[in-house]
Each structure stands twice: as structure tokens, then as C-alpha cells.
Structure 1
Amino acid sequence: MPCEHWSEALADVEGLCRRVVLAALDGSGEVLSRGTPEQVEVSLVLADDAMVQELNRQYRGQDKPTNVLSFAALDGDDEIAVPDGPLMLGDVVLAFETTTREALAEGKPLADHLSHLLVHGILHLLGYDHLEEAEAEEMEGRERVILAGLGIADPYALPPGSEAGEERIERT
């Protein structure tokens, strides 16, 4: 079962994910025209690379694993408002091996990188994107604010000794 990898790597992966999702919803700048983040439902799948690669191939036409996939239940024209029951925003799927590999390569704690990718995925569910430079700047700025509120360093900051203009995280 893919979730076992996450549980072995992170002591309280469920608690971490819950805190990050609530912070992302609360700090999105969009969240809800009425209601609270607790009235929103998000499906989170902690998967392995094989599962994410299959989803990426099936839904995006890219036969390779990626770190995070988001599947929004709302389209861009839907108003984000809580009905009488919970509002289902969609699904976020995180790939263990890719996330772990990226965290190691970037010298980041796995929990911090997982948190960043989860915030990124939640923002996609809320309609944020990064296809154009202006959109990317807005989305990355929102990620920075949310992560700072969680005590996590700027994931887009260049490490010491890096050259300006070098991109650190592939936008997927």
C-alpha cells in the first residue's frame, strides 16, 4: 500500500497533511464566500510513483511520474461557496519517490517539501495556475505566504551558490 511509505518516512503524516490543507484553504485568499475551511472536503492520495505515472499518462498524456497531480471538482466558472453540506474541491495525489528524491536533491526536509506540494495542489483545486508568468508569480506568492505561516522557508529561494535565473522547481 503506497501510504505505508509516507507513514514510515514521516511520524505524523496524517496530522501534517491536515494542518497543511487547513492552512492552504485558510490562506488561499479565495477560500470561501461563506463558511470555513473545515466545511470543505479534499481527497488526498499519498501514492507511489507507479500510481502517479499511470494517472499522469491517463489524464495528462505524460507517461512519467510527477510530484503532485490535482483533479478539481469545480471548474473555473464555479463560485466557491459552501452549500448546506461539505463542498468537495477535488483530489490531490502526491508521489512518494519523486517527492523524496526532490527533497533530497534540494536539501529540504521531506515534511517541508510535502507541505509545499500539498499547498501547490490545493491552490490548483481553487483555480490557481502557473501556465503564464503572471499566474505563476501570483500562485508562487500565495504559496510563500501560506508556507511562511507554517514556518516553512521559501521553496523558490535559490540555495547559496546558485546562479540567478536558475529555476529550482519544475512547474507541472
Structure 2
Amino acid sequence: MNATPDAGAVSVETVIEDAAWDTVPLDALAGRAARATLGRLGLGAGEIVVLGCDDARIAGLNADFRGKPRPTNVLSWPSAERGARVEGQMPAPPDTARDAELGDIALAFGVCATEARAAGLALEAHVTHLLVHAVLHLLGFDHDRDGDAALMERLETEILAELGLHDPYSGDVS
């Protein structure tokens, strides 16, 4: 279990259940992704727990929480409902002064590694994208409605660009 240094009151605790994650600096990637995402939205605080697990564990979580008994790359559990009421609008920011807990994220190593290879991406870059995506979910962003998806994708692209990473929606990996 690792925690990122207290930088701007953003706290990310990582829990590693699958030793395959030892090949990736998940705690550093999670801290960097969380700080970039929260910072882009003007939030300087928040607490997140990230689980690095295997495909079997995430398949069980996916079955339990979403009724989909198969592995997936990432899951997120916001600590509160924060979604925007109006499609395409920003969700209300959490009041981290009263409650800093934003929620939990789980990543499956096998699925992430397979997707990265298939897309010709470095695993660390793909994991960072998934972490930014998941942190946005914790903050109330979603992609179920077209307007919400466009907003979320735009923010992901902007945050990843700030981190020096490619636009995952462009189809270009350069």
C-alpha cells in the first residue's frame, strides 16, 4: 500500500493485489493523474483509493456492482452522486472542505496491458488515461448521454495534453 505525497491536499492511496502491477509505478501515475484532473477543474483537494488488481478480481467486482461478469479495464465508485442534471453541463464540484473523500478506483492489469499493446501505447500512458477517466467519473462526469460524453472526452484530452500524452480519441498514437 502506498500513498502519494501530500501535494495540494490531494491524497491517493494505492492498494496492490496483483504483483504484475509491481512493473508499473501505479502510485506515482495515480497521484499525477489525480492532481492533474483535480487541478484542471480548480479543485486542490480530494482523497482517492486506487486498487491494482487482476482480471479475475475486476470481473468479480464488475459482476457484483454492474451485473456484468467479465473483466474490464477500470471501475470507479464515487463516494456521492455528483452527475450534472443538464446534459453537457459541468457537474457541481464536490465540497472537499467538508468531505474530501471522492471515491475508489480499480484497474485490472491484464486488460490494461492487452489494450495498451493492441493500441501500440506504452502501458503507463494507457493507465494514466484510464486514471484520468476514472477520476472524472468520481467527480460526476459520465458518457451515457452524448453531451456528457463530449464534455468528458474534451476534458480527458485537455488533461492528457497537459501531461504530455496523446489524444486517446483521435486514433493517432504519436
Gaps of 5+ in 1: 161-172
Q: Which letter does structure 1 place at the counterpart of 2:171?
A: L
The answer to whether the aligner puts 1:82 opposite 2:96 as a matched pair is: yes
Query: Which has a greater percent of strand?
Result: 2
Which residue of the partner structure matches residue 5 of structure 1? 20
Deviates more, 1:151-160 or 1:106-115: 151-160
Which residue of the partner structure matches residue 134 of structure 2? 121
Sequence identity, in percent?
37
What's the C-alpha RMSD, in Å, of the aligned pairs? 1.8
Q: Is 2:82–2:94's contact at 8 Å kept on the other side of the alignment?
A: no
Render the CA deviation track for 1:82-123: whole Å, top value 9, x for unaligned: 235x61000011110000000000000000000000000000
Which residue of the partner structure matches residue 66 of structure 2? 60
Superposition deviation, residue 158 in structure 1: 1.6
Q: Residues 83 and 5 of structure 1: is their aligned pair in 2 closer, same or farther, counting only changes over 3 Å?
A: same
Superposition deviation, residue 79 in structure 1: 5.6
Match of 2:30 among 17, 21, 31: 17
Once residues 96 and 172 of structure 2 are traced to their aligned partners in structure 1, the CA distance between those partners, rounded to angstroms, is 41
Gaps of 5+ in 2: 1-15, 84-91
TM value normalised by structure 2 = 0.80
Report matched runs for 1:146-161 at 5 Å.
Answer: 146-159=159-172
Report matched runs for 1:127-142 at 5 Å.
Answer: 127-142=140-155
Secondary structure at the aligned position of 1:102 is classed as: helix
TM value normalised by structure 1 = 0.81
Secondary structure at the aligned position of 1:16 is classed as: helix
Q: Which letter does structure 1 place at the counterpart of 2:34?
A: V
Secondary structure at the aligned position of 2:143 is classed as: coil
Which residue of the partner structure matches residue 51 of structure 2? 45
